[in-house]
Amino acid sequence: MLFDLTGKVAIVTGSSRGIGRAIAERMAEHGARVVVSSRKAGPCQEVADGINERAGAERAIAVPANISAKPELAALVETTLARWGRIDTLVCNAASNPYYGPMAGISDDQFRKILDNNVLANHWLVQLAAPGMIERRDGAIVIVSSIGGLKGSPVIGAYNVSKAADMQLARNLAVEFGPHNVRVNCIAPGLIRTDFARALWEDPTVLRYYNDVTPLRRIGQPDEIAGAAVFLASPAGAYVTGQTIVVDGGATIAGS
């Protein structure tokens, strides 16, 4: 029963593929009703249909939303409440990184987009979803950050700044919401085999490097992040808040 999510309702952003999709699917398998959300309606509906087919019942709905548009995020929350009456878990997974290179070359618009999509949008969603959790004195918020938030990079510096900000967002919200029994945590994945990171793991030289420096000698799979999300949303994680759980095969402790 430690990982039972029966009766819970979870919103997962960026869940039409990759880590978000794995989180939505695994939460549904553990009993939750999930809201699949990403920018495009078609891919969201495909994931929701697959979840419902495997469950043999309505366990998922698709509600497309662009994280950069606050009215669309408000509609995402309102639609969820209208359909299922509550939000028990919010997983802020969607993110973007429109720039690759040293920070000296990033434009203001690119930097703003990274911060808006990766930090401000999470803040908006929490503002919209948390009041019901606070009123019921029960809820879990999970922000998918990155090990990039724990170190520097010559090519994804602005992205790393945003992911470090997500970790502090979780810590601060955990202090604010803790007295209401609402928990807020981050997951910091390492390199995971997703479309978002395809440019890295499809390059044989880069993949060989990551395999060599990671103690487990491989990159991760989306399900290995989903397991951490299920833990944080479930009774098993009931005494965990304000933390960043690193899921990276040991890469950040290898010293290379």
Nearest CA among 208, 209, 190, 196 for reference residue 251: 190
Structural contact between residues 219 and 210, judged by C-beta atoms closer than 8 angstroms: yes
Please give the Cα distance from 179 to 87 (Å, whole number).
18
Please give the Cα distance from 212 to 117 (Å, whole number).
32
- Other Cβ atoms less than 10 A from the Cβ of 207: the count is 16
The DSSP symbol for 192 reads B
Nearest CA among 190, 90, 89, 195 for reference residue 146: 190
Catalytic residue among 159, 209, 210, 239: 159
Look up residue 102 and give its amino acid: P
Burial of 197 (0-12, 13-18, 19+ CB in 10 A): buried
Catalytic (active site) residue 159: yes
- Other Cβ atoms less than 10 A from the Cβ of 96: the count is 18
Helix intervals (H) in the chain: 18-29, 41-55, 70-84, 108-115, 121-136, 157-177, 198-201, 204-213, 222-233
> Which residues, 6+ apart, have CB-to-CB distance to 205 below 8 Å?
none
Active site residues: 159
